[in-house]
Amino acid sequence: MALRVKCPTCRKETSWDNNPHRPFCSQRCQLIDLGAWTEERYRIPGRELEMNFGDDDEDEDSQNKH
C-alpha cells in the first residue's frame, strides 16, 4: 500500500512514492509555497538582527576626527 499524504498547500491527498513534487501534489502548489516564503508570509521565530553594511568604518573615521 502506497503512502498517501495531504498537500500542505491545497490539502489534496497525494501519493508520496514516485512524486517529484513531494510533499506537494504538483509543481503549482510547490511554487505557491515558494512564493509565500519569498513574500515573507512564513517566518521562523527568533530575535531580529540589526544589519549595518559598511557603516561601521565610516562611523569610526568620523569619531576619530572629532
pLDDT of residue 61: 55
Higher confidence at residue 11 or residue 59? 11
Average pLDDT over residues 7-31: 95
Which pTM was predicted?
Answer: 0.60
CA 51 to each of CA 7, 45, 55: distance values in angstroms, whole numbers, following the listed order = 36, 18, 10
Domains of the chain with CATH codes: 1-43 (3.30.50.10)
8 A C-beta contact, residue 34 and residue 22: no
Query: Rounded to whole angstroms, how far apart are CA atoms 66 and 62?
Result: 7
Q: Is the pLDDT at 33 greater than 60, yes or no?
A: yes
Q: 7 falls in which pLDDT band (50, 70, 90)?
A: very high
Q: Tell me, what DSSP letter sits at residue 46?
A: -
Peptide bond into 45 cis (omega under 30): no
- Residue 66 pLDDT: 57
